[in-house]
Chain A
């Protein structure tokens, strides 16, 4: 029977395993966990009007909620329906549900939707009437979790910012044996762009074509932007990462796609490809498929997020892997990956303005905003969507490797300015903004495959098209009556080496 070199598994085993992984991914089946939840008494009398319904984007969160809601429903004597859906389905289902008055009691917003928009359109309602002593409860959150324009509007609190956004989706996860054989130890000495490339080349060389230095989910187009932007930021080109702030250096308000750092990041990817260090066939792989191949010995490194850690530890307990920061050019110090806010906006939960069970939603929100709830959350979810309370990150039972990842994020990730926190009316600009085609992700993918050529030229074209699209969006928002200006994308007091906090917005 043929065996895949290096992996020690037969082709039959590989096919069977890969197919099973794919089937599991498709079915959304997740292993059940034995988990203790310490649920306190309700914060107010609860009277259920039909089942309590909750929707979010699932993944590792689903592992928590499926176990938690079972216990919570038993404790409170209510029926709970949990839906963990992929983002494209949430983007479709939730707006329809809101319009038809069939949306869940508690929901996260569609990925593209600024909270200001949901408040203005009357989709959500404040927590103020449901959580007693709200101010005291909010004091338990780290500074910057609640921000006017993000989850507070006109003095009312709307969203539950319970997971940290201090996470990068493009740090190094590596096979320790391959890396050791290549002569590198990223856990002791972080890789720079040169050693990263050299390590990838040596891993490929050592394996004699049986494994490759680096693997990516190339068919999942957003990965190209995530990786390029992260590499450029580590090279010192700090810029925004979401919506109308993507690729903008907030110190000047200018787009930086054509900067030397972005060009260098793309050149690094192309150089790795020219070296033959990148796993062949990445264009047929999405991120989860690429992730699944690493523990099988197919590649030495992957640039992905910390969600790999609990999954590999659970499904591949014998796989010896390490983590390291995203590589930066040699000699570069004091550079950071920039996150858009302290709390993950994608995970922030809201109460439906027409919820049948708003008090139950508030009761769950309250639990998740306590030390106990945050620790329970950290115990299950780990570093994937880490709890926002630093104490919960420290006290939860996640693996040492997971805690090391969170410590690494503290060192290399900084919170940048968020335009919507400065002026919620900018959500009107986001609504009108039409991202140019090709986007950053598509441009880099095209350069990588050779369908586009001239890195500097392509990125300059992208910058020009994005500027045009932004100007058009600002004009459309102004025409619609929004009081906005492109100057509001300039945060002159931003220093990328430290978090941008509430006081900085006030100092503008």
Chain B
């Protein structure tokens, strides 16, 4: 009898298992400390700050509950910035994904000469500091003597210089274009990685069956890499919501709020008040938390989309 009991597998206690793997956990400590300091603490601190009437200066942190959130909901400039952030994301992500996919498909062709050079050139803006891009683009797009306007005028495409950054109807789209140009290289790398997963045999089989080039792309390659598109879209969307340095260096949210996205709105309230007004870190934190929750909802929706697509791939549950 005793022997039959002893045949039941014995699972060690949690403490014992932790001790057994203590070296592994030891190596995790530095990463966890950094994660705690720079991710977890700001995450929870901002949620606490959002419940305070606090400038960020003084020790007096008046607890106001959800008053900051209530004020936010009635703040026209908050909603305008909120909408602009999503307009910016919804316009840049598809454009960035489409352009980068075209680049990736072309550069994935092993017969293409100097593909490494083209990849480098496309990737170059990614590693260029945003502030430098801001300055250079301001000069490039100047309606006074910017090369872009001079080129358009010389080509006869326009008869009057365009104020790309000063026209409230154009500024957001101009910034979106620059953003896509800067980051398209990263998305291209993601697509190139995705394209590596398409088995070479499929290309060969398609060739034997007489499938033409564009048909291979549309009917074989794209369906194979579609699941990656969801992940790439998610990463690109998060990137498009982190556009603060570009806008701050080029327009500071102007003219007259026309390019003020959420990050610029938060910065303005937290640090960049005018005429001696004391900043509102609590209010800005509430805007940040609200916006973070909105992004979280977006992310969760994308997770469901990924699961849905994967389930379509495996209809038999294989």
Contact = CB atoms under 8 A, between A and B. Distances in A.
B161 to A, nearest CB: 6
B59 A284 contact: no
9 contacts: A111-B276, A218-B255, A221-B252, A280-B142, A280-B144, A281-B142, A283-B255, A298-B145, A442-B257
Contacts of B250: 219, 284
Interface in A15-32: 15, 18-19, 22-23, 26
B40 interface: no
A280 to B, nearest CB: 4
Contacts of B168: 449-451
A65 B276 CA distance: 26
Contacts of B144: 212, 279-281, 298
A242 B278 CA distance: 12
Residue from A88, A219, A222, A225 whose CB has the most chain B CB atoms within 10 Å: A219
A121 B58 contact: yes
A437 interface: yes
Q: How large is the interface on A (under 10, 10 to 19, 20 to 34, 35 or more residues)?
A: 35 or more
Given A221-B252, A446-B256, A451-B258, A280 B163 contact: yes
A289 B138 CA distance: 10
B251 to A, nearest CB: 6
Interface string A405-432: 0000000000000000000000000111
Residue from A11, A14, A91, A212 whose CB has the most chain B CB atoms within 10 Å: A91
B32 interface: no
B274 A218 contact: no
B255 A435 contact: no
Interface string B16-27: 000000000000
A23 B256 CA distance: 27
Contact of B271 (A92, A218, A452): A92
Interface stretch (B87-95, B128-136, B233-241): B128-136
A261 to B, nearest CB: 18
A433 B254 contact: no
Contacts of B223: none
A218 to B, nearest CB: 7
A362 interface: no
Interface in B133-153: 135-136, 138-139, 141-147, 150
B273 A435 contact: yes
Contacts, number: 152
Contacts of B275: 222, 225, 242-243, 246, 435, 439-441
B182 interface: no
A434 B138 CA distance: 32
A283 B256 CA distance: 10
Given A19-B135, A284-B165, A449-B168, A243 B256 contact: no
Given A11-B147, A117-B58, A445-B254, A285 B274 contact: no
Residue from A281, A431, A441, A448 whose CB has the most chain B CB atoms within 10 Å: A281
Contact of A281 (B132, B135, B166, B276): B166
A437 B275 CA distance: 12
A91 B271 contact: yes
Contact of A438 (B58, B256, B276): B256
Q: How large is the interface on B (under 10, 10 to 19, 20 to 34, 35 or more residues)?
A: 35 or more
Given A281-B163, A451-B258, A88 B138 contact: no
Interface in A77-136: 88, 91-92, 95, 99, 110-113, 117, 121
Nearest to B78: A437
Contacts of B138: 284-285, 289
Interface string B168-189: 1001000000000000000000
B154 to A, nearest CB: 9
Interface in B245-273: 250-252, 254-258, 271-273
A14 B138 CA distance: 13
B254 A221 contact: yes
Contacts of A285: 138
Contacts of A91: 271, 279
Given A222-B275, A431-B58, 16 more contacts: A19-B135, A23-B132, A26-B131, A26-B135, A117-B57, A218-B255, A219-B250, A219-B255, A244-B276, A246-B276, A283-B166, A284-B141, A285-B138, A298-B145, A435-B277, A442-B256
A4 interface: yes
Nearest to B164: A284
Nearest to B142: A281
A284 B274 contact: no
A282 interface: yes
B73 to A, nearest CB: 15
B63 interface: no
A218 B59 contact: no
B166 A449 contact: yes
A26 B257 CA distance: 24
A211 to B, nearest CB: 9
B56 interface: yes
A220 interface: yes
B55 interface: yes
Contacts of A110: 57
A310 B211 CA distance: 71
A102 to B, nearest CB: 16
A327 B227 CA distance: 65
Given A121-B59, A431-B55, A451-B256, A283 B277 contact: no
Closest 9 CB pairs of A and B: A283-B166, A243-B276, A284-B165, A435-B277, A446-B256, A22-B135, A280-B143, A451-B256, A281-B143
B276 A284 contact: no
B278 A222 contact: no
Contacts of B277: 112, 243, 433-435
